[in-house]
Structure 1
Amino acid sequence: MARPRNFNENQVLDRAIDVFWEKGYHATSYEDLVNRMGINRASMYNTFGDKHQLYIQALQRYREKSRQQFDRWRESESSIQETIQMILNEAVHECVSDSQRKGCMVVNSATELGPSNTEIAEIIRENQQQVESVLSELFTRAQQRGEIAADLKPEALARFYFNTFSGLRVMGRANPDATVYRDVVDVALRVIE
């Protein structure tokens, strides 16, 4: 008969997220995970599976937590210009205030594992589609309110801003200079003036 778990799975999974997010998949060892998660190897394997399975669960949990941010974007009553500026400014703030230069775990996963792991690549595609869908919805509403030109395609704008947002997060891993990012935000906002 199996013993009941004496730990909160989500809390332990959040600790695994932190390790993977800081170090990346390949640089994270089982010892790193066990030490940070505060459970033994047997408990880790029994609850989450091997390192790859744990990573998948950690990445999905990270995405779930990010969905709250997307809901906030969707519920915004501000103009599209103000909403997009808020979204990009949040990315800039995260880039310059993150002393560990962790970036975004989903973006990091895309660059580290996406090309070589079909399961991760599918999660990355799902994430992109989800974010672009929210952004497209925002641009469609803005078009209906007359805030952006009728000839702009909401789906194309969504892809452009998704890529701008992702690019900020990639560059934030190496360059903490807020001035560089402010220039990107300023130019990106001109697209929907």
Structure 2
Amino acid sequence: MARPREFNEDEALLQATRLFWSKGYEGTSMSDLLRVTGLSKSSLYDTFGSKRALFLAAFEAYRLERMRVMRGYLQSGTTAYDAIAAFFAMVLEHARAADRPFGCMSCNEAAEMAPHDEEVQNLIERDFDGMETAFAEAIERGHGDGSIPLENDARQFARFLNATHHGIQILARTKGNVERMDDAVTVTLRALRSVG
């Protein structure tokens, strides 16, 4: 009879996710992973298979949680415009937080791995598509509640919001000027309410 695992797999994945998010795939060593997860090499391989498999599981866990939080924000608020503004306020808050200086894991890996790793490129494209769709749905809700002009094409503005989000994340990763991030969001939200 197999012995039960003596560690929390979800906690180990969470710690690995934070490490990959912080240091990137190439910058994360196996010894780093063993240290933060508290696993032995054999336990890590038995549970996750390989460093790459652990990275892909970590990326998927990050993506699903980020989408859950994003949809929660975008489906709340008195109006869709208010919901989008609240989402970007949260993004700015996280970008400024000293304990979250990592930007967005998807953006980080888009720069690090996607140019030479087709599987990761496809995962990031799926992630960006999911964000775009969530923004487009919120904008369509804004058309219905009157907070966003009907003339503003939902898909085009969703791509605009996506680009703003990713730009802020790059600035956060590089410890960019907070005023730049604030101004980008201010102009983006103003454009969303203007007739395009």
TM > 0.5 fold call: yes
Asked if 1:5 corresponds to 2:37, the answer is no
Alignment deviations for residues 144-186 of structure 1 (CA, whole Å, 9 cap, x no partner): 2222222221011111101101110111112353222111111
Matches within 5 A, 1:1-193: 2-99=2-99, 101-193=101-193
Q: Which runs of 5 or more structure 2 residues have no equivalent in the other structure?
A: none
Separation in structure 2 between the aligned mates of residue 19 and residue 175 of structure 1, nearest angstrom: 18
Contact 1:19/1:33, CA 8 A, preserved across alignment: yes
Alignment deviations for residues 112-162 of structure 1 (CA, whole Å, 9 cap, x no partner): 111111111111111111111111111111112222222221011111101
Separation in structure 1 between the aligned mates of residue 136 and residue 109 of structure 2, nearest angstrom: 24
Pairwise CA RMSD: 1.5
Separation in structure 1 between the aligned mates of residue 178 and residue 82 of structure 2, nearest angstrom: 19
Contact 2:30/2:51, CA 8 A, preserved across alignment: yes
Separation in structure 2 between the aligned mates of residue 150 and residue 60 of structure 1, nearest angstrom: 35
Tell me the SS of whatever aligns to 2:188.
helix
Contact 2:95/2:169, CA 8 A, preserved across alignment: yes
Separation in structure 2 between the aligned mates of residue 58 and residue 137 of structure 1, nearest angstrom: 27
Moved over 6 A (4+): none
Tell me the SS of whatever aligns to 2:27.
coil
Separation in structure 1 between the aligned mates of residue 158 and residue 61 of structure 2, nearest angstrom: 24
TM-score (norm 1): 0.93
Report the alpha carbon displacement of residue 63 of structure 1 after superposing the two structures with TM. Answer: 1.3
Q: Larger deviation: 50-59 or 143-152?
A: 143-152
Amino acid paired to 2:26: H
Report the alpha carbon displacement of residue 98 of structure 1 after superposing the two structures with TM. Answer: 3.0
Amino acid paired to 2:112: E
Tell me the SS of whatever aligns to 2:116.
coil
Alignment deviations for residues 68-108 of structure 1 (CA, whole Å, 9 cap, x no partner): 21231242132233222212221111111135621111211
Q: Which runs of 5 or more structure 1 residues have no equivalent in the other structure?
A: none
Amino acid paired to 2:155: E
Structure with the bigger RCO (C-alpha within 8 Å, sep 6+) is 1
Contact 2:79/2:145, CA 8 A, preserved across alignment: no
Tell me the SS of whatever aligns to 2:137.
helix
Residues 166, 60 of structure 1: alpha-carbon distance in 2 compared, 3 angstrom cutoff? same
